[in-house]
Structure formats: structure tokens, C-alpha cells
């Protein structure tokens, strides 16, 4: 691995940093939403585990992402999965207390982060690989840069969500928007999307609305199912 520090190298590195800043935001939102209800110590673990696993996934995806995106209906499935995750994260209020439930919630949070990041990292990986233009050094640096960005972004988002709860709603809507975009980008819909330029935006907007509506409905249903505590 040669470090050829030419102007093209630095230009490519700047492109990768910019791509990571833009595309790591939605990943940070997912991690923050999944970890927001955990105790502070559990939050830190969820952010570290989630961010670390995200980078491992991106390394794997770098090899297979282009081939995966060429498969019909895969992005539709992934997009629907993101809609479900967004709705569940919005509906999840603080549940359970104590060490046992904390451990379970941590594992559930990390699992949610992994599934969402698997779907949401495809665009990131392809964009970074394109900017690297086959330069392994740039590619590795690009993947490494995403770690602190996601960790910092997730930590900041949790603090903002605690102070401004409306950001939870906006974050869930963002996941829905990305889910809708993912569905619209599927190979099977490529011809229709190219002939109807409104389709991509319409799917994204519909995804955001579906997540908010689905999440709020699930929240109400959960509230009805909870047994009332008998008074003595």
C-alpha cells in the first residue's frame, strides 16, 4: 500500500470526507434513535458497538455493494425494512428497567442499528469507492473517517433529542424518507422512475408519512395493550 501524496490524492480525500459528512448523518440518526431510551452507560456501548459494526459492514459491502444493487427487488425489500425500523423506533418509548432489561435493550438496539446500517450504508460505500478510484489507501481512510463522524453525530443527536423531543419525530421521518428513496431506486423500478421524475420524491415523502403514521399508531396500540396497575 503506497502513500502517493499527489494533488489527486488530497482531492480524492477531500471528496471522501465530504461524502462521509453528508451520508453518515442518517446512520447517526438511526443509532441515536435506537439508543436514546438506554441509560447513559448503555448508550455509550450501543454507539460504540453500532458504529464499529457499521464500519465492518461497510468493509464487507465495499466488495459486494455494486453487485447487490444490481439485483431486482433487493432495494424494495431493504426500503420496506427501513420503514418498519423507523416506525418501531418512533413507537418505542422507555420500556423496562433494571439490569436484565438494560442488557436486552442494548442487544435490541445494536441489532436494530446493524440491520438499518446494512441497508443505509450501500450508497455510502459506493460513493466512497467511486471517489477513491481504486486507491486502497483512500478507501481505507474513507472508511476510517466514518467512525468518528458517526460516533460524534450519534452522541450529539441523543443530546438534542433529550432537549428537543420533536427531533425524534424528524429523525423517524428521515429514516422513512431514506426508506422511500431506497424503494424508488430499485432496479425493477428504474425505467418507470426515469420516465416519471416525480416518482423518487413521491416515494421518499410517502415513506416519511408512512413511518410517522405507522409509528404513532403502534404507540397507541401499545398503550391500549398495557394492563392497568390495580389500585389497593
Domain contains 48: yes
Domain contains 32: yes
15 vs 104, higher pLDDT: 15
pLDDT of residue 66: 64
Domain count, the chain: 1
Tell me how far apart the alpha carbons of residues 146 and 17 are, in angstroms, rounded to a whole number.
8
Residue 100 confidence class, pLDDT cut points 50, 70, 90 = very low
Which residues constitute the domain of residue 118?
8-221
Tell me how far apart the alpha carbons of residues 147 and 145 are, in angstroms, rounded to a whole number.
5
* Residues 109-124, mean pLDDT to the nearest whole number: 79
Query: For 23-57, what is each residue's pLDDT tens digit?
Result: 677 778 888 888 888 888 888 888 888 877 777 77
pTM equals 0.74
Residue 4 confidence class, pLDDT cut points 50, 70, 90 = low
Query: Which cell is 15 given?
Result: 471528496
Q: Is residue 176 within 8 Å of 90, Cβ to Cβ?
A: no
Domain contains 167: yes
- Helix residue spans in the chain (DSSP H): 7-35, 40-69, 74-91, 99-132, 136-163, 166-184, 190-195, 198-225
Mean pLDDT over all residues of the chain? 79
Domain contains 228: no
Query: Which cell is 139 given?
Result: 478507501
CA distances in angstroms from 76 to 59, 150, 184, 187, 192, listed in the order given: 23, 25, 7, 9, 14
Least confident of 91-95, 164-168, 173-177: 91-95
135 vs 215, higher pLDDT: 215
* Residues 175-188, mean pLDDT to the nearest whole number: 90
Amino acid at each position: 500500500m503506497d502513500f502517493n501524496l499527489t494533488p489527486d490524492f488530497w482531492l480524492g480525500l477531500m471528496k471522501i470526507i465530504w461524502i462521509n459528512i453528508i451520508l453518515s448523518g442518517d446512520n447517526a440518526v438511526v443509532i441515536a434513535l435506537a439508543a436514546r431510551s438506554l441509560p447513559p452507560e448503555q448508550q455509550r456501548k450501543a454507539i460504540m458497538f453500532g458504529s464499529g459494526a457499521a464500519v465492518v459492514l461497510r468493509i464487507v459491502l465495499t466488495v459486494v455493494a455494486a453487485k447487490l444493487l444490481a439485483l431486482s427487488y433487493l432495494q424494495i425489500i431493504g426500503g420496506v425494512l427501513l420503514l418498519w425500523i423507523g416506525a418501531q423506533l418512533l413507537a418505542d418509548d422507555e420500556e423496562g428497567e433494571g439490569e436484565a432489561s438494560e442488557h436486552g435493550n442494548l442487544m435490541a438496539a445494536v441489532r436494530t442499528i446493524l440491520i438499518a446500517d446494512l441497508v443505509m450504508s450501500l450508497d455510502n460505500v459506493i460513493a466512497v469507492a467511486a471517489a477513491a478510484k481504486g486507491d486502497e489507501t483512500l478507501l481505507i481512510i474513507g472508511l476510517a473517517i466514518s467512525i468518528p463522524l458517526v460516533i460524534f453525530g450519534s452522541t450529539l443527536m441523543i443530546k438534542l433529542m433529550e432537549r428537543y423531543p420533536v427531533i425524534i419525530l424528524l429523525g423517524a421521518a428521515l429514516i422513512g424518507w431514506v426508506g422511500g428513496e431506497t424503494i424508488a431506486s430499485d432496479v425493477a423500478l428504474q425505467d418507470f422512475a426515469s420516465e416519471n421524475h416525480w416518482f423518487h420524491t413521491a416515494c421518499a415523502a410517502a415513506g416519511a408519512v408512512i413511518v410517522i403514521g405507522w409509528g404513532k399508531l403502534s404507540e397507541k396500540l401499545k398503550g391500549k395493550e398495557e394492563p392497568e396497575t390495580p389500585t389497593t
